[in-house]
Structure 1
Amino acid sequence: MAAETNQKVEFDGALGERLAAAISWPQGKTRAFALFAHCFSCSKDFVASRRLSNALTEHGFAVLRFDFTGLGRSGGDFSDTNFSTNVQDLIAAASWLEENYDAPSLLVGHSLGGAAVFAAAPEIPSIKAVASIGAPSNSVHVLQQFTCSIEDIEANGEGEVDLGGRPFKIKKQFLDDVRSFDLGAQIAKFRGAKLILHSPVDNVVGIDNAERIFKSAKHSKSFISLDDADHLLTKLEHASYAAEVIAAWAERYIPMEKSDTKNEGHVLAAESGEGKFHLNVDASGHPLTIDEPLAVGGSDRGPTPYDLLAAALGGCTTLTLRMYADRKKWPVNHIETRVEHKKHHAEDCEACGEGREGRVDVFTRFIHIEGELDKEQRHRMLEIADKCPVHLTLEKSSVIKTLLGQ
């Protein structure tokens, strides 16, 4: 699994407070944006939240996860929130994504966050698919997690509850909101694709909740059992499995954009909007990325242009040698070419030749060949390396024409 690449961001929530968020970016081209909603007593930095988001990036999804108002690092007072404001926070997050990057296509929610994404989905036009993990079939279920007396909150207007070992103040308006919210109607209202994941041994939100959600949902809908997973997906393999299933399922409803540059020799490099220097590249129908190192203001999520140029030289060298060895029927088992690129002053570079001035680019190849070749054969392979097409192109002068597109 590739290393997780996170970008910290903030946006205004439903109550006007600044909400702390993070975008997990894929290493390559972004398929689409997804929104992740954490469980009631969790945060965006909860271990399952990070694992699920990171695994989704492996399938090309950029994932925005955030702390709901009054939770985690977000501003606001939790006692002023309720289930409806959580839903509105999700809608605000979707609007922020659309304004700054692109509208989200996928919603993923864990526990009460799963109920929230089902409630928010009909209100976000760009959403094509929703996945829930261990979600309750109604928002009233959260009241079962309160360790204080509901009657005390009713009588006094507020009360302190324990959620995940932390104290929170709950007001009566919270109780009124969850009791009046019709989650089943929202589930039925959303006509996009739905995936319900639930563990049959979940002792926090019973499996019967998944059954009720499934019955409320219209097609297309699917159910996946998480077998022996606990409610919080505390084991890495359970969180990873859930994310892999969601990502594979979502690809059917959110396919990668098709390329219009299928023929060899056609390359499109365009700003992605996902970083100062991050580019999406279509190389004859093959997606790539270009970026710059963190030290110069990039996000280091792809090779630099010169890295790609060195890769072209190394790749062409290896392919040329392989074709020559096969044609000669020489016993070559493996070939690899390492390329180093540096800029040198012409007067300090013995290999640069005469007539060169200023700084010149020097590409140094280190070729490793495994096989039973004698000294003469190896010397011949070294000569053939200089005949690789990219080598010849770099040595000769090229003609570059530049036109303004329409």
Structure 2
Amino acid sequence: MAERVRFRSSTGPMLTGLIDLPQGEVRGWGVFAHGFTLGKDSPAAARICRQLASEGIGMLRFDNLGLGDSEGDWGDGSFTVKVADTVEAAAFMAERGTPARLLVGHSWGGCAVLAAAGRVEGVRAVATVGAPSDPSHAEHQYDAFVDRVLADGSAQWLVGGIKALTLKRAFVEDVRRAQLLDVIPALHRPLLVMHSPTDATVGIENASEIFSLARHPRSFVSLEGSDHLLTAPGQARRAARIVSAWADPYLGD
């Protein structure tokens, strides 16, 4: 069971999300950050959050700027805005009386929760799934358009042949400036890094770098057999069960 919600983004437009409500005994609450252009209904986001909810952990997953049901222009999003909107999502959860103790991020969303955690009061644990160690890794997805964007200010990008997004110069420059080298060692929260050794989109070396930069308590779990998007049956649910067990000591009041 999910509750549809809306809250204001850090830049003004309204963002739309779903709160997968916890079943049975409520163990805690969290926020999920989706991948680069994926959205709240992507397999990783939906299946992980539903599984966590089935185990008593309520999760807010939401569409970032200009994606899915959210307002705004994706090209105005950038990494800085994605991080700020993750903070806004956690603030929304606190305002409704269900403060997020857990942040979970998939792919680029993993970078976002690492950067956002230090700005969210009450967050006690962070988990990443298939996250790059450098946010600028995302440029690989649109590198064919970068020169045109930097020269003309913007360009249309057809994602997967079906979704048209506007890539803007400020977006590209913001992503290039973003880095986690100082953020990860200063996280001061338990960190779970999950990654598949056969991830063909974000290589396993990214998990190694995140883990090596992190301070204890830190944990690493190999999601062997999983693809980057966790699309095969059971992959996302397996990741969620691991998060659920690992996060248990950090959820209660």
User: TM-score, structure 1 length as denominator?
Assistant: 0.61
* Superposed counterparts of 1:169-318, under 5 Å: 169-255=166-252
Paired with 2:158 and 2:186, the residues of 1 have a C-alpha distance of 34
Whether 1:149 and 2:145 are equivalent positions in the alignment is yes
Letter in 1 for 2:61: R
Deviation for aligned residue 1:203: 0.7
Letter in 2 for 1:107: L
Give 3-state SS (helix, strand or coil) of 1:33's partner.
Answer: strand
Paired with 1:30 and 1:186, the residues of 2 have a C-alpha distance of 31
Q: How many residues get paired?
A: 252
- Any stretches of 5+ residues in structure 2 without a counterpart? none
Give 3-state SS (helix, strand or coil) of 1:211's partner.
Answer: helix
Deviation for aligned residue 1:186: 1.4
Paired with 2:236 and 2:180, the residues of 1 have a C-alpha distance of 25
Give 3-state SS (helix, strand or coil) of 2:211's partner.
Answer: helix
1:105 corresponding residue in structure 2: 101
* Superposed counterparts of 1:128-143, under 5 Å: 128-143=124-139
Paired with 1:253 and 1:104, the residues of 2 have a C-alpha distance of 11
- Any stretches of 5+ residues in structure 1 without a counterpart? 258-406
Consecutive aligned runs of 4 or more in structure 1 exceeding 3 Å deviation: none
Give 3-state SS (helix, strand or coil) of 1:53's partner.
Answer: helix
Any conservation in 1 of the 2:29–2:251 contact (CA below 8 Å)? no
Whether 1:68 and 2:81 are equivalent positions in the alignment is no
Paired with 1:127 and 1:34, the residues of 2 have a C-alpha distance of 8
| Alignment match of 2:37 (pick from 18, 31, 41) | 41
Give 3-state SS (helix, strand or coil) of 2:66's partner.
Answer: coil
1:114 corresponding residue in structure 2: 110
Give 3-state SS (helix, strand or coil) of 1:169's partner.
Answer: strand
Give 3-state SS (helix, strand or coil) of 1:243's partner.
Answer: helix
Q: Percent identity at matched positions? A: 39
Paired with 2:86 and 2:183, the residues of 1 have a C-alpha distance of 15
Give 3-state SS (helix, strand or coil) of 2:185's partner.
Answer: helix
Any conservation in 2 of the 1:7–1:24 contact (CA below 8 Å)? yes
Letter in 2 for 1:128: R
Any conservation in 1 of the 2:149–2:168 contact (CA below 8 Å)? yes
Give 3-state SS (helix, strand or coil) of 1:186's partner.
Answer: coil
Whether 1:51 and 2:47 are equivalent positions in the alignment is yes
RCO (CA 8 Å, sep 6+): is it higher in 1 or 2? 2
Any conservation in 2 of the 1:198–1:225 contact (CA below 8 Å)? yes
